[in-house]
Structure 1
Amino acid sequence: MTTVQKTQVAIVGGGPAGLLLGHLLRLEGIEVVIVERASADYVLGRIRAGVLEATLTDLLHKLGINERLKAEGLPHDGFYLADGEKLIHINVGELTGKTVTVYGQTEVTRDLMDVAEARGLQIVYEAGDVTLNDIESDTPWLTYSRDGVEHRLDARFICGCDGFHGPSRKAIPDSVGRVYEKVYPFGWLGILADVPPCHHELIYANHPNGFALASMRSETRSRYYIQVPVDEDIALWPDDRLWDELAVRLGPEAAARMTRGPAIEKSIAPLRSFVFEPMRHGSLFLAGDSAHIVPPTGAKGLNLAASDVAYLSDALIRFFKSGDEDGVAGYSEKALARVWKSERFSWQLTTLMHRFPGTDAFDRRMQQAELDYIAGSRSARTAIAENYVGLPL
């Protein structure tokens, strides 16, 4: 037996992109159901980035889901690029008049989850075998299984916010979609620890041993990364060895301020740049990681998902409120224009700050020349700052 439910918008994926989209639509009275393959605890257990652009914080403010963000978020008006003894300050506040906010993606997800039931946002967790059907029609539907029961969900639109490995993008025919991808020959080994950060701003370091990043989630929780081979065995990196290597790569000033502690979480993440076009096919829309992946250099992943959601929620609200189909028709083109600019920035910063296998003396001198130019050019620093805080929607 199959249960049948109808809604206006079905959202596949209950991470921050799906939750944010669901809340924005519910705010306007639009019927929404979110289906998520994992449990709520599993979703909250994902450790992700935590540098938020104003696009995202403004959406949370619009929803009135920002009390903890205001209390615990750390406004940042700059960051550093380090190369040997050279330390370049990118003062984004001075250069752009804007700031970013350090607040963990896990905390954003928790905030959106906590008020979902009270706001009438239905979320089905542990929905297995999600399958999309009739996406080229005006009556798409999906099926999923839960507790041994088959369920059918009919909708006017389906929004795929289900990440890189989800079923939504795969539902678009190969004859329609096109993939652009660059896989980097290294990954980031990250450690999360309950220790104060070594600096009040982020430090991106280019070192002969490889890239390193000093960042934080709060004033008492730090997140550090080092570049490692993509096939590195994490067992080779006990906590002490990782802290020692961070001290070397970040330099003596940061090392002197570094507080060491046991890892809460330690993992290796591969780096890739990935874009799928188009982001809409028929009645199916893609948003966030289902359509694009950026390397974490520059912290664009969650923020790019938020801009997708801003465009998509506006388009769907206009459709249901006034029958205006222009936003729906133009969503993919509009979203992709911003996606590619963010991809460019993330690729540029990754190329500048990492040591690639096979890098020769000429390549290294090019990195040094670019960093020298940035250090001496306000225009160059402004361009970086504008991209870091987020380009206009």
Structure 2
Amino acid sequence: MRLAVVGGGSTYTPELIDGFARLREALPLDELVLIDPAADRLELVGGLARRIFARQGHPGRISWTDDLDAGVDGADAVLLQLRVGGQAARNQDETWPLECGCVGQETTGAGGLAKALRTVPVVLDIAERVRRRSPGAWIVDFTNPVGIVTRALLMHGHKAVGLCNVAIGFQRKFAALLGVPPQDVELDHVGLNHLTWERAVRLNGEDVLPALLAEHGDAVADDLRMPRSLLDRLGVVPSYYLRYYYQHDAVVREFRGKPSRAAEVAALEERLLGMYGDPALDEKPELLDKRGGAYYSEAAVALTAALLGGTGERQIVNTVNHGALPFLPDDAVIEVPAVVGADGPEVLPVRPLEPLHAGLIAHVTAYEQLALEAALKGGRDRVFGALLAHPLIGQSDYADRLTDQLIAHNREHLSWA
């Protein structure tokens, strides 16, 4: 089995490598190829990846290259984890929207749209090259904004599934609070990427979410940085990203008063890359846990194994709606439980949603459709329309100012600008 990772020079990659090594019985890799244009980073990450495999006795071969076509040639699956523009572009996404009093965040609001505009054309070019070199390969997308990127891939006919670590993170945290193995916990997880709610936490078929919130609500609320009273009133557990909707103005004040997350991550990455260059290091360092992406490797292994092995396992993925949420277009991409096999995900039946959740999902889906059109076709008016449609913006003066800022800060990545 040959697997390729586009963006293999990411500081995330040792987390992925560690998972491949530990879970090799689930996903028996013969060859892993790391692909990245940043040769210096790739050398450091690739060397550590080989040492991790060697320490854990994995027999697979690891190689790396800056040649995308050669790297994906003959791959059974290709994982996408790239960041167009790097942390410098992310830093812009997280700062200039604040000037208009709007959340600056890499997947939400104006910053999220900027990332989508930079990313979608690049990902589609990669996918076309994968299709030429490895026509049967599955594309697993971890590149944000996952929902928009996955929708772009699917509408262009690619064999693609979107992956996020929010659900598996909740599963692991809830299992720890309940004192049970993670595999015993099943989530009723529904929504869009980075716009989801846990409506039930099932243990041996019984929903224990009310009891979990009653006993551990303070810990869950602290982790989400939301008031306990809000969780009690909702009766569900929203993803961390719902902070940007439920507490927008407070988050703007918070972000204005401290360095951006991108600046923090850039400093972490510098330290991590220095550690990766140490020939004595043969395991992922503890510092990597602060980088984000917890349990990414477990989710990636499980999804890839199901796609290539046809196991028919229940997993939470980003895939096409096809009527699962009847108030959305069939071609919308949603994040829900599905049975995953060799033919891809088959979405499991979804219980009707409360209007509080369905309304916001419908609103953001409309924005995502406009965002994708802007990413594919370009043009100031399309960017303005997407920003005007976003529930965190929605005012014409703000949308006008943000459109000008977005284009000014991303001109080098926008072929039409």
TM-score bracket, shorter-length normalisation:
under 0.3
Q: Which has the higher strand share?
A: 1
TM-score computed with the length of structure 1 as normaliser: 0.22
Higher Rg of the two aligned structures: 1
Specify which structure has the higher proportion of helix. 2
